Amino acid sequence: MPHDHSHAHGSGGHHHHIDPNAGDARVAGAIAVNLLLTMAQIIGGIVAGSLSLIADALHNLSDAIALIIAFGARKIARRPADARMTFGYDRIEVVAALINYTTLIIIGFYLVYEAVLRFFEPTEVAGWIIVAVAGFALLVDLVTAALVWRMQAGSVNMRAAFLHNVADALGSVAVIIAGTVILLFGWSWVDPLVTLLIAGYILWQSFSEMPGVVRILMLGSPPGLDTNAVIDAIEAAPGVASVHHVHLWMMGENDPALDAHLVLEAGATPDVTRTVVRDVLAGFDIGHSTLEVETSDTVCEDNARIGHG
């Protein structure tokens, strides 16, 4: 597939014909609905005395915040590169995802703490309120997930927002089950148990997604590419004697870039060699490269193969 920058403009990954602003309207709608839902769940949770409903509400609030951050990041990511941000603003989406997962981890640990306290001091819980509010919540979660689904293909940021919604829907199902069990059997301990399940899911999800986000921010190489294989392929190209100062990183989530110093073999011409190496890189889907050419006489003193000493 030819390399493109559609994800940087907030379109739905592979749906290049979608106007970015059409996506914005969907996100704005999802934000409004989630904020209303959060209010309903918190009030319902307080009235029913249900921690699991409040847990679901906090997850929904984080959802709304996630969508607000995602919404702002999508807007900013479309800005072209300028003198201040010479790489453009695409990476703001990755920063947004990091903020998002960090807040989720804090919420997750807080819910674990509250649920454990509830096991030692159980409280009366009104099951019918839980079932009604969580049923409404499930409906909203499914609608939001449908709105965000088409936009999550090429964006770590929108995928974070989408995953929040899937987790919310599962959380609402768990709360409905808890409310039903409390109605049927009067087991109020099911409420903190479900809270622990929701919190556990939030933490597992956040900790598993976080490393990929940090890798992009740390200028790590793309997870799907073997850096040494790329270097070996460059060194095998005709005209190249050796390679050093290699940097391979991700400009955005789907945008690998490379810069390197090439030492030419005797008699090789710089322009031809550069073209050959760019073709090699295209085979790895590396569309952005900066190649500095040296001869055996002008080679750098510091010739670390990867990075620079």
222 within some domain: no
In this predicted structure, what is the pLDDT of residue 152?
62
For 11, the token pair is 């379109």
In this predicted structure, what is the pLDDT of residue 23?
67
104 within some domain: yes
Domain shared by 140 and 16, yes or no: yes
306 within some domain: no
Name the residue among 91, 224, 52, 67 with its Cα closest to residue 160: 67
Domain shared by 17 and 140, yes or no: yes
In this predicted structure, what is the pLDDT of residue 12?
33
- Choosing from 190, 217, 244, the residue where a domain stops is 217
Domain shared by 237 and 199, yes or no: no
Report the SS3 class of residue 279: helix
Domain shared by 65 and 203, yes or no: yes
Domain shared by 240 and 212, yes or no: no
Report yes or no: 140 and 34 within 8 Å, Cβ to Cβ: yes
Domain shared by 155 and 212, yes or no: yes
Report yes or no: 44 and 53 within 8 Å, Cβ to Cβ: yes
- Choosing from 217, 247, 273, the residue where a domain stops is 217
Q: What are phi and psi of 159, to 5 degrees?
A: -70, -40
Domain shared by 268 and 137, yes or no: no
28 within some domain: yes
| Run of H or E including 248 | strand 240-250
- Choosing from 161, 189, 217, the residue where a domain stops is 217
Sheet holding 288-294, edge to edge: 240-250, 256-264, 288-294
In terms of C-beta distances under 8 Å and separation of at least 24 residues, what long-range contacts does 201-206 make, across chains too? 201/167, 201/170, 201/171, 202/59, 202/104, 202/105, 202/107, 202/108, 202/111, 202/167, 203/104, 203/105, 203/108, 203/109, 203/112, 205/104, 205/163, 205/167, 206/101, 206/102, 206/104, 206/105, 206/108
Domain shared by 142 and 261, yes or no: no
d(CA 128, CA 125): 9
Q: CA-based Rg of the chain, rounded to a whole angstrom?
A: 25
The tokens 């409903």 sit on which residue? 53
In this predicted structure, what is the pLDDT of residue 153?
60
Amino acid at 61: L
Domain shared by 48 and 108, yes or no: yes
In this predicted structure, what is the pLDDT of residue 215?
94
Domain count, the chain: 2
Name the residue among 107, 98, 93, 108 with its Cα closest to residue 209: 98
- Return the CATH number at 235: 3.30.70.1350
52 within some domain: yes
In this predicted structure, what is the pLDDT of residue 151?
67
- Return the CATH number at 198: 1.20.1510.10
The pLDDT profile of the chain, 309 residues, written as one tens digit per residue, is: 333 333 333 333 333 333 455 567 777 777 887 788 888 888 888 888 778 888 878 777 777 777 787 778 878 888 899 999 998 888 888 888 898 889 889 988 988 998 898 888 777 777 788 888 888 888 887 887 777 776 666 666 677 677 777 777 877 888 888 888 888 888 888 888 988 988 898 899 889 989 999 999 999 999 989 999 999 999 999 999 999 999 999 987 778 999 999 999 988 899 999 999 999 999 999 989 999 999 888 888 877 899 886
Domain shared by 146 and 127, yes or no: yes
In this predicted structure, what is the pLDDT of residue 16?
30
Give 71-96 pLDDT, tens digit per residue. Answer: 788 788 888 999 999 988 888 888 88
For 9, the token pair is 């403009």
Domain shared by 137 and 168, yes or no: yes
What is the residue range of 143's domain? 6-217
| Run of H or E including 85 | none
First to last CA, the chain: 36
Domain shared by 98 and 139, yes or no: yes
